A and B are shown apart, each in its own frame.
Chain A
Amino acid sequence: MFKINQTDKTIKDIDKFFDTIDKGLLVFKEGVRNYLYGNRALFDENLSEMAKLESEANYLRREIVAAVHTMSFMSQMRGDILKLLERMDNIVDILNNSLSQLDIEIPHIPAELNPDFVKLTELSTLAVECVIPAAKAYFRSPDSIPEKINRVYFYEEETERQSKTIKRKVFHDMPQLKLSEKFHLRYFALHIETLSESAEKAADLLSIMALKRNI
């Protein structure tokens, strides 16, 4: 009736799921850096590692979802928890897609833009890095969520600003680039920016979930 072993396993799975996302962020950052500085072999390694992490995250999410459904506890919070897991899983998907698109499309990124793209990646991943402790806090200390998600909003804004800087630089200060190349660069900047946007969405959900837990 109470399925104690299963609840312990679910707790471990949830922690592992968030750790996987954390690892994914590190791999993504490394992957972008390796691509920008032309370390193709290392980039390929990052790519395969990211694919593994994505499938692991998917597997863990499915396990948690099944557990949450079959154990029939937390009927009121179940929907929120599942939505949170979905949003966090979406982040891993974005990480994997971004890296694989770099691999497939091989965009031409001028060397002078490398520091800008590295900064954009750092800011974007920082937004996600801040959302992970907030998501973990939902399960243990929901009162601390608001102070944690404030950082997410800050980094999201910074990411947006950095992305605009890159776009302006590409379209205004780089006449040597073809229009197609400019569009391509803008597209990649947007892709990395999406990461922080999805972190912001997860933060929004978490703030509502924290309120609900206190009702």
Chain B
Amino acid sequence: MILDVIIVVVILAVWLSIREMPIIMASTSSSGAINKAYIPVILVAAILPALLFSSDIVVNINDAANLNNPLTVLIVCIASAISVWIISFFTKWTSILYALAGALFALNIYLDTNNSFSFFWKSSISWLLSPLLSFIFSLTLFQLIKYIVKKTSLHLITLNRILRVLLVISLILVLFSFAINNGSLILAMTSGMDPLLLFNIAGGSLQGDFLKWILFLLLILILYFYPVKGMANKISMKLFDINTETSVVIMMSVAFVMLIFSSNGICSFFGLLATPVSPVHACLCAIIGIGWVQNSVAVDKKELIKSFLSVVALPGLSFLLTYSIFSIIDVQKSASGENFGLSGRQMSFDITTFALALSLSILAILAVYFYISKNRASEHAKLKIAEDRNQLNEMQKALVDLEIKVIQSENNSLHKRLEIKKKDLINNALWIGQQRDFLEQLSTDIQALKRSDSLEDIKSQVLAIERKILDKKAFSHEMNELYSQVEILHKDYSVILHERFPGLTEQERRLATLLRLGFSTKELSSIMSITPKSVEVCRYRLRKRLNLKREENLIEFIKSL
């Protein structure tokens, strides 16, 4: 029995803390205005006194459901926890409260007790009203704070100081209301086992609700350090991008809503009963309220739709699961001749079996639909990303091809220019050789002039000599042009030659250049106007100046520069 109670408290406290606490605390994490070291203290200060205000909900739940059998409660809790776990694959933004409602309803149907329908009906209205109220509260509070800030022109630092105080108050309030709202569920579910709970400590004893509350508080404190704190930070980073003002508004709205629905006195004004409400949906609607004012809703719409769909799907699933478990256990116990403790119920299988089959098929269709739509959406997204990547790759490839083509055409044009220049050089060199031949011819003409006796012949031959001088001038000009062209074409070579061998004479440099161009000794003698023997002497001198060894080839060395 004791084990049952512990398991029930642990299951509920763990689920309530892990699933719901991070969401209501995310806005605090997001604003970063409270030192995280103070939060455990605030947790204790807020949760401990909440025990005194939880009686309304506990009484209402106890009136509505028969929770005297520990095994029944355990089944209800386990079925609810499994349902939340299944639904959490679709959305994290849901509440175990709906699962518990579905499970308790299944229990009542199974026991065929009709006195609880009014409570469930009123609770459903409360669940519809609570997000709506949260929306209205957040909208009004946010506008009010904005108006006050604008009117009073408070200094930003003063404003933040006030907001920080407000944030601490709202955190205490929200945790206090959360403890009433969710803690009372634990008390209600374990109320049938109170006489069994007694724990002697230091001369005194802890028992009943107080003992369960202490256990609940301890669990919440432990779970706060791991994983609630981390989850709250994660949610705040993923979904919230809010400042201190909005954090205060969200927490205040959620706290007000939970406080309103945890008091029979206030609820009776609307003809309702005190009932636990979902802090998750209250929080979501508070965020939507602020987004409404700012014209930008900070919550993903898809997540929002999924979350509100879970309000229907979760109790349905929990109902089916609980009912099925009860049926199976009851059948087995009846077969073994044991009494399960649910005797006295009247079987009404015709309606319930039909409802069971219908609900199961609806849920199965829903599950398949969700699964397929999720897969399809992710596949679409993947396909789109792949297409975009392909397009990008193709574009990059086209760009690279274009660049290669441009480089190739540039290379081609450069090669052509190089060929033309080379031909020009060779033509020039040949032309120079022709000039040399021409000069020799003229020299022969002068010899002939010496031998001439006629004045007319002398005159005409002098004119020819004058022409020869002019040709000579033109010849030296062409030579200079040849060397300058060689220097342009082989700029690097000229620079290297000058840097490595600065002591070379102008004639030696020209010889080296002509050798690099591949002229033979005969051609060189013609170009340089010296005998082939002199060319050989010049080559020898050049080898000496270049410090070449006997086995080294002069032309190869010059070309390697």
Contact = CB atoms under 8 A, between A and B. Distances in A.
Interface residues of A, number: 19
A139 interface: yes
B156 A2 contact: no
B21 to A, nearest CB: 21
A7 B154 CA distance: 13
A70 to B, nearest CB: 11
Contacts of A140: 153-156
B45 to A, nearest CB: 13
Interface in B125-182: 150, 153-158, 160-161, 164-165, 168
A11 B164 CA distance: 16
Nearest to A140: B153
A85 to B, nearest CB: 13
B243 interface: yes
Given A2-B161, A2-B164, A2-B165, A139 B35 contact: no
Contacts of B165: 2
Interface stretch (A73-81, A115-123, A158-166, A167-175): A73-81
B532 interface: no
A197 B392 CA distance: 40
Contacts of B31: 75-76
A191 B35 CA distance: 45
Interface string B221-244: 000000000000000000000011
A141 B153 contact: yes
A74 B156 contact: yes
Interface in B237-261: 243-244
Contact of B160 (A1, A14, A73, A141): A73
A76 B164 contact: no
Contact of B161 (A73, A141, A215): A73
Interface residues of B, number: 20
A73 B164 contact: yes
A188 interface: no
Contacts of A4: 161
A10 B168 CA distance: 22
A45 interface: no
B38 interface: yes
Contacts of A10: 157
A54 to B, nearest CB: 25
B33 interface: yes
B294 interface: yes
Of A1, A4, A10, A143, the most chain B CB neighbours within 10 A belong to: A1
Contacts of A143: 150
A75 B32 contact: yes
B38 A139 contact: no
A75 B157 contact: no
Contact of A11 (B32, B150, B153, B157): B157
A73 B33 contact: yes
A91 B161 CA distance: 30
B38 A76 contact: no
A12 B245 CA distance: 24
A72 B243 contact: no
Interface string A1-35: 11010010011001000000000000000000000
Of A74, A138, A140, A143, the most chain B CB neighbours within 10 A belong to: A74
Nearest to B163: A73
Interface in A114-157: 138-141, 143
B32 A7 contact: no
Grouping DSSP codes into helix (H, G, I), strand (E, B) and loop, the B interface class, with mixed when no group exceeds half, is helix
B155 A11 contact: yes
A72 B294 contact: no
Contacts of B294: 215
Contact of A72 (B35, B150, B157, B168): B35
Given A75-B33, A215-B294, A139 B156 contact: yes
A165 B168 CA distance: 59
A4 B160 CA distance: 11
Contacts of A139: 155-157
Contacts of B33: 72-75
Contacts of B243: 76-77, 215
A77 B157 CA distance: 11
Contacts of B155: 11, 139-140
Nearest to B298: A215
B156 A76 contact: no
B151 to A, nearest CB: 10
A14 B160 CA distance: 15
Contact of A138 (B156, B161, B168): B156
A1 B38 CA distance: 9
Contacts of B157: 7, 10-11, 14, 73-74, 139
A132 to B, nearest CB: 16
Contact of B32 (A2, A14, A76, A138): A76
B291 to A, nearest CB: 11
Contacts of B156: 74, 77, 138-140
A141 B153 CA distance: 6
B153 A7 contact: no
Contacts of A74: 33, 156-157, 160, 244
A7 B158 contact: yes
A73 B163 CA distance: 10
Contacts of B161: 2, 4, 7, 73
Of A72, A73, A141, the most chain B CB neighbours within 10 A belong to: A73
A57 B35 CA distance: 30
A67 to B, nearest CB: 9
Interface string B23-35: 0000000011101
Nearest to A212: B243
Interface in B292-338: 294
Of B31, B161, B165, B294, the most chain A CB neighbours within 10 A belong to: B161
Of B38, B157, B158, the most chain A CB neighbours within 10 A belong to: B157
Nearest to A10: B157
B316 to A, nearest CB: 39
B312 to A, nearest CB: 34
B159 to A, nearest CB: 9
A82 B380 CA distance: 45
27 contacts: A1-B35, A2-B164, A4-B161, A7-B157, A7-B161, A10-B157, A11-B157, A11-B158, A72-B32, A72-B33, A73-B33, A73-B161, A73-B164, A74-B33, A74-B244, A75-B32, A75-B33, A76-B31, A76-B243, A138-B156, A139-B155, A139-B157, A140-B154, A140-B155, A140-B156, A143-B150, A215-B294
Lowest 4 CB-CB distances: which A-B pairs, in order?
A75-B32, A139-B156, A73-B160, A140-B153
Given A73-B33, A74-B160, 19 more contacts: A1-B35, A2-B164, A7-B157, A11-B157, A14-B157, A72-B32, A72-B33, A74-B156, A75-B31, A75-B32, A75-B33, A76-B32, A76-B243, A77-B156, A138-B156, A139-B157, A141-B153, A215-B243, A215-B294
